[in-house]
Structure 1
């Protein structure tokens, strides 16, 4: 069976009609027949012609998926160059816990999404029913949203730096300013609500502005979530 060096493997990247090869645990696979690899890049993140052993450890699917494809060779045992961006301590941590490479942001981003929508929902329920418990719940959701917005921003920046080399991708250019705007809006609303507990007693003036800002939270988180999903689950164009 043919032995590939790292340099030789890099030539099979799907460009100019070349086949698409990847390596995992020393085995080289031909994935040219996969729709997910037809452009030479998988999920806009993983490039072909490379050893993806570390990447697949953090993938949402099992490595056994590769057994569907033909093994056409083995990778020569070479010492791969370490990613100079990653400090040794972090590299060791990622090797021990590979899920930390991809999953911190997907795990935490759902919280601000839920709490922003919940704030809008319970505010509207309070306006419709006059039940004070809905108003209280909306305030609690807003406070939780402020906290988890910060957490999601930190994990998002980490994931962007580690997995996307902090490239100015279009979804990122949309997400960053909107996320900052949503965080600032939620902080303003939370503080405002604490300072003026009865702000929703009047649906004009300040009360109306408060409601409009609450509604804007759902709009912003929808756009942010859509762009985030386009990075995690990109639509492959025919």
Structure 2
């Protein structure tokens, strides 16, 4: 397939959506992330994505899930040229992948927090409640660099494109952070709040367990970015 032929398959007005990567043409028409031939309001169908994939948060395995329908004529890999501060950041990001690396810490720690809190409520052993508190503090501390690295990733990889996935992911990340700060503050000033009878204790424990569904929303939309 020639490059000018590929451009006709842009996903608009009922046309199929094709993209190419390193000389291979893929049909992404049925992907929800390529609706109307647009991907995260940045990439368009009918184009070669070889250079764009170099800074993507996912690898070629995402494209390989789709049918390889043709080869792109005259394909030639172009060498990277570092131009300006953003290109340097892109290169560093591709080497270290800070957001995928950092995000697993607060996620795992928050799940551990909920498990420890549940064990405390079941056994009434103070060691479980203390473990939950320490785990929560550590999770919130890690949430700050995690959100920052996520914002850098949004800028570097998606040009700050706005769609529902990013809106949900960013909004619920900050909701999770605010919840964690409130929970730590309440527990710090009211050390026995977890075992207090009445609405105060019920509300505090509810907030601790509510971390899981909020975290699930963040993780789900992060997964949609990587896997479609």
Q: CA deviation at 1:134?
A: 0.8
Structure 1 residue matching 2:211: 3-state secondary structure: helix
Aligned residue runs from structure 1 range 1-238, under 5 A: 4=3, 10-15=7-12, 17=15, 20-24=18-22, 27=23, 29-32=24-27, 40=37, 46-57=43-54, 59-61=58-60, 70-75=70-75, 88-95=84-91, 98-100=94-96, 103-234=97-228
Change (3 A) 1:99 1:35: farther
Structure 2 residue matching 1:31: 3-state secondary structure: strand
Aligned counterparts of 1:77 and 1:112: Cα–Cα separation in 2: 39
Change (3 A) 1:60 1:23: closer
Q: CA deviation at 1:143?
A: 0.6
Contact 2:187–2:193 (CA<8 Å) still a contact in 1?
Answer: yes
Aligned counterparts of 1:96 and 1:221: Cα–Cα separation in 2: 28
Q: CA deviation at 1:154?
A: 0.9
Query: Which runs of no fewer than 5 residues in structure 1 stay unpaired?
Result: none
Give the RMSD, CA atoms, in angstroms.
Answer: 3.8
Matched positions, count: 222
Contact 1:119–1:139 (CA<8 Å) still a contact in 2?
Answer: yes
Change (3 A) 1:133 1:49: same
Aligned counterparts of 1:208 and 1:111: Cα–Cα separation in 2: 27
